[in-house]
């Protein structure tokens, strides 16, 4: 084990994170597209509803589903933006450096939350103040 403290991840390590983030980005974009389809989906159910009460219940249900999908889409867009920012940090070779402590964020944390900019230590201290 090295006695000196590392200040950044090497290019090979950064490439590993880049692959991970690109996969998560691909999945997140697919999820966002699915959510956007729910939001913009027409009210056509493929059947001719003749009963007004059934139509009203479906309209209420559709509105709720669209509201939920819209809230999820907003969160997904933010997640995508955070992942894209992580890719920029990889290109700048600043990825994995805690913005609070300046120390390297452990690989385990980055694998679990690849868009993070804070170590667990910094995150925990944030809630103590």
pLDDT one-digit tens code per residue, 40-85: 875 555 444 455 555 555 666 778 888 898 999 999 999 999 999 9
Total domains in the fold of the chain? 1
Residue 37, domain member (yes or no) = yes
Q: Name the DSSP class of 4.
A: S
Residue 71, domain member (yes or no) = yes
The reported pTM is 0.78
Residue 122, domain member (yes or no) = no
DSSP three-state, residue 43: coil
Residue 121, domain member (yes or no) = no
Q: Which domain holds residue 20?
A: 11-94
Q: In whole angstroms, what is the distance from residue 126 CA to residue 118 CA?
A: 10
Residue 123, domain member (yes or no) = no
In the predicted model, what is the mean pLDDT of residues 97-121? Answer: 95
Residue 5, domain member (yes or no) = no
- pLDDT at position 39: 87
């Amino acid at each position: 084990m090295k006695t000196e403290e590392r200040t950044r991840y090497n290019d090979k390590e950064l490439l590993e994170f880049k692959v991970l983030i690109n996969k998560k980005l691909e999945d997140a974009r697919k999820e966002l597209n699915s959510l956007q389809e729910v939001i913009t989906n027409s009210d056509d159910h493929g059947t001719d509803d003749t009963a007004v009460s059934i139509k009203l219940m479906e309209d209420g249900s559709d509105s709720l589903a669209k509201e939920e999908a819209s809230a999820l889409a907003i969160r997904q867009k933010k997640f995508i933006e955070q992942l894209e920012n992580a890719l920029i940090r990889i290109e700048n070779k600043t990825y994995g450096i805690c913005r609070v402590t300046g120390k390297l964020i452990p690989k385990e944390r980055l694998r679990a939350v690849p868009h993070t900019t804070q170590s667990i230590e910094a995150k925990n201290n944030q809630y103590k103040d």
